[in-house]
Structure 1
Amino acid sequence: MEPSNHVNSRAAVAILSNQTPLLLLLPKPPSMALLHQFRCSSSPSLPPVISSTKSTSTSVFSVSTIPSHRRCHRRFPSLRLTATLAAETPAGSVSEGGTPKLLLEVKDLTAVISESGQKILNGVNLSIYEGEVHAIMGKNGSGKSTFAKVLVGHKDYEVTGGSVVFKGENLLEMEPEDRSLAGLFLSFQSPVEIPGVSNSDFLQMAYNARRKKLGQPELDPLQFYGYIMPKLEMVNIKADFLNRNVNEGFSGGEKKRNEILQLAVLGAELAILDEIDSGLDVDALRDVSKAVNALMTPTNSVLMITHYRRLLEFIKPTYIHIMDGGRISKTGDISIANILEKEGYKAMSTT
């Protein structure tokens, strides 16, 4: 009997395809969710399901043996053995000689709202190198979130001028799903719920789509469990989280953790975090920030959009940019955030 969440997979693509490239990684129409290859039958007990311990280049995981009477359940039983599994992460380009490469270059980018033609970006210039953390701050309506959506190809906006080069390729010529597959990730301000599609199914299909793009073999369900368990630990999420439908009934903190889990799984080279701190208490913000910091490598970068200095206390930016009137009007270090905290944006016109 086919599981019911297969029926909702196409709907999941429709729900999110207009908001972020991530869901576009799913097959269209998607095949049977891979984790449901474990079906009820009279055959011997299923292979063990890999749960977690610690991630290294060759990681050691705990293995749970599934008794025959529970072979249709995707929970984590208590019987444990030990096994070793090597799980690789999709890799981007590695800089030669240790010199950071230019990851993203935006020149004189202009854009309008597709429906009304209203100009919303007025010549944005930005360069991000590997290993850097950039933060964009600004008043409401200054163009911060619009800039993020334009980068990932949101249909509500039309680019009217300028250029965007990502990893040496013309980003503006790519479809949204190709931008995601190339290593660009955008988190939601308000992550949407997808009833009937489990986190495990969603993440595995998205991850395997990126592996395929990179010329790497897809992971089967057991290999994927081994790959994802250290990611769950990194984001401070319990294993049974995988059985829940994507963002359905999640608290605000759980939704934001799920966004970072998606980033951790996909291994994107450039993560755009749009107000990832919104609605989080101090403990949740600390957990999310810790996970983002743990994901930083010499070859990936983060672009954060935020209103508040407190996020910058947990994730230290290389540069802070002030956006005003659809363009970046000022760039500096953490001292800019300190001035904003004390004097507000009026001080930016005099410093």
Structure 2
Amino acid sequence: MTTPSPLLQVRDLHVAVGERSVLCGVSCDVPPGSLAVLMGANGSGKSTLGMALAGHPRYRVTGGQALLADQDLLALPAHERARAGLFVSFQAPPDVPGVKNNLFIRTALNAVHEARGQPPLDAFDFLASAKQAAGTLGLPETLLARPVNEGFSGGERKRNELLQLALLQPRLALLDEIDSGLDVDGVRAVVGLVQRLRAQGTAFIVVSHYLTLIEQLQPDTVLRLDQGRIAETGGLELARTIARDGFARPATVAEAQP
């Protein structure tokens, strides 16, 4: 059986925040439609990887390479990375006062449509699809007309991230503790949406500490990040071992690491 070419290729990525080096040579491949779970102790650099790939200005790439569908991701400004098909969720989604949720998402969606050569959605068509997706995800329709995340509960913020994911349908999504703050129904919504998008070819990197979610997601790969590097690569059994024994054990560089 032929292994598909990686959608995302990260090679020897080094990232600094201020004067501190956080990632010290991360390498990984993520094929189309696959799902990798990224685990690591607090402060190991999991969120840093997502923010660096997204182009957040606080996260300075000091070495290495990241390719998305053979395109140099690091050479693009943040908005062009999103247009190229990258989606990164926030661990703690911020408020965007004064910007209505429906306008924010429709503007982002139409920018992606333009990059793909697709026609824009008018307000009526967008609202119909947004309401349908919101209902599936358990997000009240009334929040579509509110400013982005303003007054939202923690679970509503995460469901709003899922709504953006469902409508944008990116090529690659990095979900940073998307289950944090969600109830049981919210976790089911995460699993269902990820399964639907994977079937359409979307690849995922999911940051999570929770074995229950990881087992439901059925990842292709589990990566353990330690001291700024991928210390272990394995399958679901690695996640179970970490859940049982914790992170406090010697790091061994994975043989499968590129």
1:318-337 alpha-carbon deviations (Å, 9 max, x no partner)? 10000000010100001011
Matched, 1:105 2:9: yes
Query: Pick from 212, 222, 235: which aligns with 1:320?
Result: 222
Superposed, which structure 2 residues align to 1:285-324 within 5 Å?
A: 285-324=187-226
Return the alpha-carbon distance in structure 1 between the equivalents of residues 134 and 98 of structure 2. 21
| 1:181/1:209 contact within 8 Å kept | yes
Q: SS at 2:232's partner residue? A: strand
Return the alpha-carbon distance in structure 2 between the equivalents of residues 348 and 137 of structure 1. 15
| 1:100/1:131 contact within 8 Å kept | no
Deviation at 1:226, TM superposition (A): 3.3
Q: SS at 2:152's partner residue? A: coil
| 2:14/2:23 contact within 8 Å kept | yes
Q: Which residue in 2 is equivalent to 1:173?
A: 75
Query: Pick from 205, 210, 229: which aligns with 2:107?
Result: 205
Greater shift in the superposed pair: 160-169 or 192-201: 192-201
Q: Which residue in 1 is equivalent to 2:122?
A: 220
Query: Pick from 138, 156, 173: which aligns with 1:236?
Result: 138
Return the alpha-carbon distance in structure 2 between the equivalents of residues 204 and 302 of structure 1. 23
Superposed, which structure 2 residues align to 1:1-351 within 5 Å?
A: 100-113=4-17, 115-116=18-19, 118-347=20-249, 349=251
| 2:96/2:148 contact within 8 Å kept | yes
Amino acid corresponding to residue 312 of structure 1 in structure 2: I
Deviation at 1:347, TM superposition (A): 4.5
Deviation at 1:154, TM superposition (A): 1.1
Return the alpha-carbon distance in structure 1 between the equivalents of residues 208 and 186 of structure 2. 16
| 1:290/1:314 contact within 8 Å kept | no
Deviation at 1:298, TM superposition (A): 4.5
Return the alpha-carbon distance in structure 1 between the equivalents of residues 4 and 73 of structure 2. 20
Q: SS at 1:130's partner residue? A: coil
User: Which ranges in structure 2 are unaligned for 5 or more consecutive residues?
Assistant: none
TM-score (norm 2): 0.91
Deviation at 1:130, TM superposition (A): 0.5
Deviation at 1:212, TM superposition (A): 1.1
TM-score (norm 1): 0.68
| 2:223/2:230 contact within 8 Å kept | yes
User: Which ranges in structure 1 are unaligned for 5 or more consecutive residues?
Assistant: 1-97
- Residues 187 and 345 from structure 1, CA distance in 2 versus in 1: closer, same or farther, beyond 3 angstroms? same
Percent identical pairs in the alignment equals: 41
Greater shift in the superposed pair: 305-314 or 320-329: 305-314
Return the alpha-carbon distance in structure 2 between the equivalents of residues 271 and 210 of structure 1. 14
Amino acid corresponding to residue 14 of structure 2 in structure 1: T
Return the alpha-carbon distance in structure 2 between the equivalents of residues 347 and 337 of structure 1. 14
Deviation at 1:233, TM superposition (A): 3.0
| 2:137/2:186 contact within 8 Å kept | no
| 2:110/2:121 contact within 8 Å kept | yes
Return the alpha-carbon distance in structure 1 between the equivalents of residues 183 and 110 of structure 2. 33
| 2:89/2:178 contact within 8 Å kept | yes
| 2:16/2:62 contact within 8 Å kept | yes
Deviation at 1:195, TM superposition (A): 2.3
Greater shift in the superposed pair: 207-216 or 320-329: 207-216
- Which has more radius of gyration? 1
| 2:138/2:186 contact within 8 Å kept | no
More RCO (CA 8 Å, sep 6+): 2
Return the alpha-carbon distance in structure 1 between the equivalents of residues 126 and 100 of structure 2. 14
Deviation at 1:150, TM superposition (A): 0.8
Q: SS at 2:102's partner residue? A: helix
Deviation at 1:157, TM superposition (A): 1.7
